[in-house]
Structure 1
């Protein structure tokens, strides 16, 4: 097991202080990529890869009324494009469908909690400009417009080379860059998706991917929704009568089975992070870019960009949380107040007091291996 060298930490501290000295306003909002941070003097930087994960993305809808941003949503991700493209692999969760018209809107038992999203296919250009390589289609909105919506979403992502996983028709996918193969498998408790609560089936899929790729990324859409559900309860979560899984047990079980990174989403708020057996877990990355479709009041409107550094087999080295926020009618903005870093610090300390990770005020995540 490797331990982050004291010399590297001293180097990092010195450089952060130097940046602050040049511009004191940057004290709490250093968002530059951390590729220049030495991992340690003995570690080969060439053996290191960087992986970015973000939460829910819904770039506007034409149903039941037109709630589309101007200029095809070009501004939605503009402020964070430079951050999102600065990684070997970038992942997000696509809520809703990429569909121009038609389809069969889903119906819900309780219309008060029913949302249906249909985003024009041309909006996929925003994802390509932002550098997304892989998307999860395992969530409760992937089937908003039935099979027509599912097929259109998959065809649209395929047309621009964005890999996707999580539908029964495409359970997992593989993305290769610089001779490293990344596998993505995604789960949700919703119809048409790879089932979150089929643990044995999930383990089998991870085992299958393990023979094909170097780094296995698991995405799950699970857990109860809303500001009152920010904590990870370590038990099954039932929400509106639906079993949203025991995401703690799920993440640990799949890492035991061979997964290397777990990116969680579903609660529409940010949750804690953890490192288990040298593998990184984030339990929810919140509402990242959800234009006028999902409440972004209070904690629902802050979300992280999480950048994870691993070796070429998925072993966690260190990470970076970059704070963002959005309002009802705006795109994603870098948050100079670092609200989501503070929130993740608080939640991680409470939910995982045994963790061996440290989250600095500027979002750097360091890890003391056992």
Structure 2
């Protein structure tokens, strides 16, 4: 006679109950996810004078998830944290009131893994955690060790439980979390996706580089690899188009995909979020590794993949009825931050005895990011134009994706710029036409209706990527 356990296992095998480890989506119809990009956020905004900001917040009314990447630290620097010698290019900091301000705006999920996670040290990271926890905001991507930083975190909503796994490909090396090993404790930090970077050059140039390598001191002859040359720590590969190539760490990929699968097993909906600037600020195209990897996250159970690193918009793909956002730009871009560390004064040729934090910030904005022709200023329009994405799900599939263009008051004085408002009609049209162009190579059609972008094609939403 079969035991009770045998009957239970037989029922599972026959499909009588939900399969153990299911990664099916299971939200109620009408579930909505609002996602924005980077929250470069220094001071509270909900009680300030920012005409038009209330219109932006109304877009979030009734959504189940309101997500953004918290690219700052929340702390009182007079009592906790200090500026680190290794930091993400600027010391990003916000006052303790930011936790309550985020809550007042409706944000209920934020990612923490980015190149500024440890600008103010482990104490700054922990203070940020405390500020978010006290205000009931779910966050992922940073923790006391890699297991904590990489784990899915959960939000309960009326239409289903939402899991989020956050990680970064752009980060400072000392910010990477690790797990205990033997007697050695784990290391606090962020959940990383390490990328091995190569420079792609034409075949004839690769041969010239090989000849250069053989002339250098301490050259040790080795079996010739026709596809690559290593000089110092720089890897050169052969290819038809010059550029940059990235290979993700298989160990990190496996860890992220496992955490996504586990997160989905314990939730009804799952988000994967990545902070990646690659291949650089100079391009609106995603890096060569990202499409394959993003699709893997969805295959592992993610219902959306969100990259929030480039600080300007990139294209959108629909894969198996799930959105892949290759770049959502900035939601906040508050440039004026204080205090900043002495190292940043030095980096910009300023002296804290004579110059102010604002002087350093103004110089940072003017210098910007290096590009082939020189530099692209951080005050360029593309850093102040982006979209709010609102995805609605029916029958556990993406039914409609709406894109609301915003602009961040670029023309205002430094102390007042960076807070979003709805873009004017001509500017909205330009932003959406840019997204149309960037999304077209992924087979995504963005329609423009009343200055809002809409993706709703049944062929795209139901079959693309199958």
1:195 paired with 2:277, answer: no
Structure 2: how far apart are the matches of 1:46 and 1:209? 18
Deviation for aligned residue 1:341: 1.6
Name the Cα RMSD after superposition. Answer: 2.4
Report whether the alignment pairs 1:307 with 2:390. Answer: yes
Number of the residue aligned with 2:83 = 105
> Contact 2:316–2:324 (CA<8 Å) still a contact in 1?
yes
- 2 CA distance for matches of 1:57 and 1:312? 31
Aligned mate of 1:156, from 123, 131, 146: 131
CA positional deviation for 1:114: 1.6
How far is 1:72 from its partner? 6.9
**Aligned counterparts of 2:108 and 2:135: Cα–Cα separation in 1:** 10
SS for the counterpart of 1:98 is coil
Contact preservation (8 Å) 1:72, 1:123: no
Give the match's secondary structure for 1:106.
coil
CA distance in 1, matches of 2:255, 2:281: 31
Pairwise CA distance, 1:73: 5.3
Equivalences for residues 48-127 of structure 1 within 5 A: 48-60=30-42, 75=50, 77-101=53-77, 102-108=80-86, 114-127=89-102
Matched, 1:333 2:416: no
**Structure 1 residues 55-77: Cα deviation after superposition (integer angstroms, max 9, x where no partner):** 111222xxxxxxx5789757495
Q: How does 1:221-370 map to 2 (within 5 A)?
A: 221-224=275-278, 227-233=281-287, 235=288, 246-293=289-336, 295-311=378-394, 313=396, 315-326=397-408, 327=410, 328=414, 329-330=416-417, 331-336=419-424, 337-338=427-428, 339-349=430-440, 351-352=441-442, 355-361=443-449, 362-367=452-457, 368=459, 369-370=462-463
* Greater Rg by CA: 2
Deviations 1:30-85 (A, max 9, x none): xxxxxxxxxxxxxxx9612111000111222xxxxxxx578975749544111123
Q: What is the alpha-carbon distance in structure 1 between the residues aligned to residue 97 and residue 50 of structure 2? A: 14
Query: SS at the partner of 1:228?
Result: coil
> For residues 71 and 266 of structure 1, do their structure 2 counterparts lie closer, same or farther at Cα, with a shift above 3 Å needed?
closer
Q: Distance in 1 between matches of 2:279 and 2:96?
A: 27
Q: In structure 2, the residue corresponding to 1:321 is in which secondary structure?
A: strand
2:127 alignment partner, SS class:
helix
- SS state at 1:119 partner: coil
> Hey, what's the Cα distance between the residues in 1 that align with 2:437 and 2:167?
27
Query: Where does the alignment leave 5 or more consecutive residues of structure 2 unmatched?
Result: 1-26, 177-188, 195-251, 337-364, 366-377
Secondary structure at 1:307 match in 2: strand
Q: Secondary structure at the match of 1:118?
A: coil
**Structure 1, unaligned stretches of length 5 or more?**
1-44, 61-67, 236-245
Q: Answer whether contact 2:45 2:101 (CA < 8 A) is retained.
A: no
What SS does the corresponding residue of 1:274 show, helix, strand or coil? strand
So what's the TM-score if we normalise by structure 1? 0.75
* Within-5 A mapping of 1:19-58: 47-58=29-40
